[in-house]
Amino acid sequence: MGLNLDSKFDPQIIESHLRIYFAARPNNFQFQRSVGNGAGANVWLLRHRKQAGDQWDRIVVKTPLGIAASGYDLDPMDTTRTRHLVRLIKFRRNDDPLRQDGAREFFKKWIYLEDLPHGTLGELTRKCATHRVAHLPNRLLWRIFMCLVRACVALAYVPDVPADRYDENEEPCAVHKKSVGYSHNDLHTDNIMIGDMLSDADDVEHSISPVVKFIDLEVIQQYPGGGEGRGVERNLEFVATDMAELITFKTLTGIGMLDDDDDDDVETYKSSRSAWLEPGGGRDGFATAAKQLLPKPGDPLAQMPAPWLDPDLRRLLCECAAVDGRRRPRLRDGLLPQVLEAVRTRNAAYYRRAGYGEAGGEEDAAILDLLQRLLGAAPPPPPVPVPGEEDGEGPESMEIDSPAAGGSSRRRDRDRRSDALAALRQECT
Q: Give the tens place of pLDDT for each residue, 246-302.
A: 999 986 554 444 443 444 444 444 445 678 877 766 677 888 888 889 987 767 667
Residue type, 160: D
Yes or no: say if 39 and 64 are a contact pair by the CB < 8 Å rule: no
Q: Give the whole-angstrom CA distance, residue 68 versus residue 392.
A: 57
Query: To the nearest whole number, what is the mean pLDDT of the chain?
Result: 76
pLDDT for the residue numbered 176: 57
In which residue ranges of the chain is CATH 3.30.200 found? Answer: 7-114
The model's confidence at residue 189, banded by pLDDT at 50, 70 and 90, is very high
Report the range out of 31-45, 72-86, 185-199, 264-278 with the highest average pLDDT.
185-199
In which residue ranges of the chain is CATH 1.10.510.10 found? Answer: 121-374
Phi, psi angle pair for 118, to nearest 5°: -110, 20
Has 62 been labeled as part of a binding site?
yes
Question: Can you count the helices (H) and strands (E) in the chain?
Answer: 11, 10
How far CA 415 is from CA of 200, 213, 221, 323, 412, in Å, comes to 11, 29, 43, 46, 5
409 C-beta neighbours (distance < 10 Å), count: 11
| Higher-scoring residue by pLDDT: 357, 211 | 211
Q: Coil, helix or strand for 164?
A: helix
pLDDT at 231 over 50: yes
Q: Give the whole-angstrom CA distance, residue 311 versus residue 279.
A: 9
Nearest of 109, 106, 93 to residue 218 by alpha carbon: 109
The percent of residues above 70 in pLDDT, for the chain, comes to 69
Stated length of the chain: 429
Yes or no: say if 386 and 410 are a contact pair by the CB < 8 Å rule: no
Yes or no: say if 84 and 133 are a contact pair by the CB < 8 Å rule: no
Q: What is the dihedral of CA 258, 262, 263, 267, to 10 degrees?
A: 30
pLDDT for the residue numbered 377: 56
Yes or no: say if 102 and 21 are a contact pair by the CB < 8 Å rule: yes
pLDDT for the residue numbered 357: 74
pLDDT at 193 over 90: yes
Q: Which CATH architecture has domain 7-114?
A: 2-Layer Sandwich (3.30)
The whole model's pTM is what? 0.79
Nearest of 238, 242, 252, 240 to residue 292 by alpha carbon: 252
* Domain 121-374 = CATH 1.10.510.10: yes
Specify the DSSP element, H or E, that contains 415. Answer: helix 407-428
